[in-house]
């Protein structure tokens, strides 16, 4: 069918003709500016991704096995590993926070690497692995929740914070986490949706290494652009107006059926024109996040006791500490990540839900950019939670000094998770439903 040669923008639903191969180029939607997903050969070469995935998995185990930081003070020493930080939170009656740290920095990155490697290695040797659909869906599901890069920034902030009270010795795990952060950044930039086309090629017994001429890119379709080069178009049509629906998992465009729970013919995911009850779910999660934001800033995020003296530390108190001690760049980073970003997410998501409820056509391009901004910066609010986890693990010198997590850490972690869920539940195609596509 001709419609199977189309691709729909996952943010504005605009249809394009699907190019045969992207040959390392990145396609952008000409209406909303989003990257078009599911194009075979887009981004880095396939061999590079395979090599980086293997290296990242090896580095991941090294980072988990060795200490990240070692602290020495008054003849006593303590060291922190990532799993040790989770164990300290668990034994300190902060089990929900421990699960947040464990899932975001250990479990989800490991699942992504293992599932990705399970898919890539057989494809590299020309075979289709069993359960290909499910494994690739797992990669796409857990990818937004891996926060190794946020943990790495939390480590650096913890080092600066501890330098004034003890001798800080970087461990092998610190350098491993630094390398892992760079590798995961490379993997995150790779769109796994293009592997579905590779799977289709193998099913049809077509060679995956066919060389395509440049003429094959000239039919990329209406409005598509490669690195800023616009292609000629005849008319702009959305999938909804054409009676089609695009799978949000593999990107396959197919006819819209009459059954309420239609499944994708390629990856078997449930199809929907628009995410069901998107505005209602987003509003509910947003309200819960706003309610949790108040105690997150008022309640202490850490409780420190030293030589009979006790002190509670809030988020704003930590910002003030860095500012008065002369570390104003870290004060700005913590303030932006822990105060500005959560408020920005709450404000933008509120704007999106109100505009969607009113079917507003006001500034769709700017609202689409704001939505992408929320999805990109949302995870960085976990910075304070990671700093708390590392500090609790390091500062544990018996009766001399002990740091425990406070209830503010739980409330703040809840704000981060709820706002990320709200952002994922909001369907950005609602922004463009009342906008008539131009020629």
pLDDT at site 72? 78
Within 8 A by CB and 6+ apart from 9, the residues are 16, 29, 31, 32, 34, 36
Nearest to 361 by CA among 285, 437, 287: 437
144 is a domain residue: yes
Q: Is residue 361 part of a domain?
A: yes
Structure tokens at 155: 């480590």
Query: 32-36, 312-316, 357-361: lowest mean pLDDT where?
Result: 312-316
Q: Establish if 27 belongs to a structural domain.
A: no
Residue 34 lies in a domain: no
With 80 as the cut, is the pLDDT of residue 358 above it? yes
Q: pTM for this one?
A: 0.82
Q: Is residue 227 part of a domain?
A: no
As to burial, measured by CB atoms within 10 angstroms (0-12 exposed, 13-18 middle, 19+ buried), residue 167 is exposed
Which pLDDT tens digit goes with each residue over 221-271?
444 443 444 444 445 788 888 888 888 888 888 887 766 678 888 788 888
Angle at 367 between CA 362 and CA 370, to 5 degrees: 160
pLDDT of 165 over the 80 cut:
no
Total domains in the chain come to 1
3 state DSSP class of 206:
coil
Percent of the chain with pLDDT over 70: 83
Is the residue at 35 inside a domain? no
Run of H or E residues at 76: strand 76-80
**Residue 270, in any domain of the structure:** no
For residues 294 and 18, the model is more confident at: 294
The range of the structural domain enclosing residue 314 comes to 46-190+276-431
pLDDT of residue 218: 33
The answer to whether residue 313 is domain-embedded is: yes
């Amino acid at each position: 069918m001709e419609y199977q040669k189309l691709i729909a923008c996952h943010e504005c639903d605009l249809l394009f003709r699907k190019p045969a191969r992207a040959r390392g180029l990145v396609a952008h939607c000409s209406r909303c500016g989003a990257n078009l997903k599911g194009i075979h050969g887009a981004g880095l070469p396939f061999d590079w991704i395979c090599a980086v995935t293997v290296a990242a998995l090896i580095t991941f185990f090294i980072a988990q096995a060795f200490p990240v930081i070692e602290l020495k003070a008054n003849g006593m020493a303590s060291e922190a590993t990532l799993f040790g930080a989770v164990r300290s939170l668990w034994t300190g009656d902060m089990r929900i926070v421990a699960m947040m740290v464990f899932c975001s920095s250990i479990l989800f990155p490991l699942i992504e690497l293992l599932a990705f490697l399970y898919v890539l290695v057989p494809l590299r040797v020309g075979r289709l692995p069993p359960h290909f659909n499910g494994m690739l869906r797992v990669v796409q599901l857990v990818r937004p929740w891996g926060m190794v890069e946020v943990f790495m920034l939390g480590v650096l902030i913890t080092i600066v914070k501890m330098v004034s009270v003890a001798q800080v010795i970087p461990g092998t795990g610190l350098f491993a986490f630094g390398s892992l952060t760079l590798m995961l950044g490379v993997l995150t930039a790779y769109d796994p949706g293009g592997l579905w086309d590779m799977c289709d090629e193998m099913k049809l017994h077509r060679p995956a290494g066919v060389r395509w001429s440049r003429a094959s890119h000239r039919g990329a379709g209406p409005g598509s652009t490669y690195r800023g080069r616009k292609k000629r178009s005849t008319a702009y049509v959305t999938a909804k107006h054409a009676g089609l629906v695009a799978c949000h998992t593999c990107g396959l465009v197919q006819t819209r059926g009459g059954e309420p729970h239609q499944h994708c013919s390629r990856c078997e995911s449930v199809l929907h024109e628009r995410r069901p009850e998107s505005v209602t779910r987003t509003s509910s999660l947003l309200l819960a996040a706003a309610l949790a934001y108040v105690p997150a800033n008022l309640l202490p995020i850490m409780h420190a006791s030293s030589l009979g003296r006790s002190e509670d530390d809030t988020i704003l108190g930590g910002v003030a500490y860095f500012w008065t001690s002369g570390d104003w760049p870290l004060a700005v980073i913590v303030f932006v990540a822990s105060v500005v970003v959560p408020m920005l997410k709450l404000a933008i998501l509120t704007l999106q839900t109100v505009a969607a409820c009113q079917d507003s056509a006001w500034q769709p391009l700017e609202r689409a950019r704001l939505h992408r901004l929320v999805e990109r910066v949302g995870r960085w609010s976990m910075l304070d939670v990671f700093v708390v986890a590392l500090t609790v693990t390091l500062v544990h010198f018996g009766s001399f000094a002990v740091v425990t997590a406070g209830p503010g850490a739980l409330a703040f972690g809840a704000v981060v998770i709820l706002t990320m869920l709200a952002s994922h539940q909001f369907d950005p195609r609602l922004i463009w439903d009342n906008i008539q596509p131009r020629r």
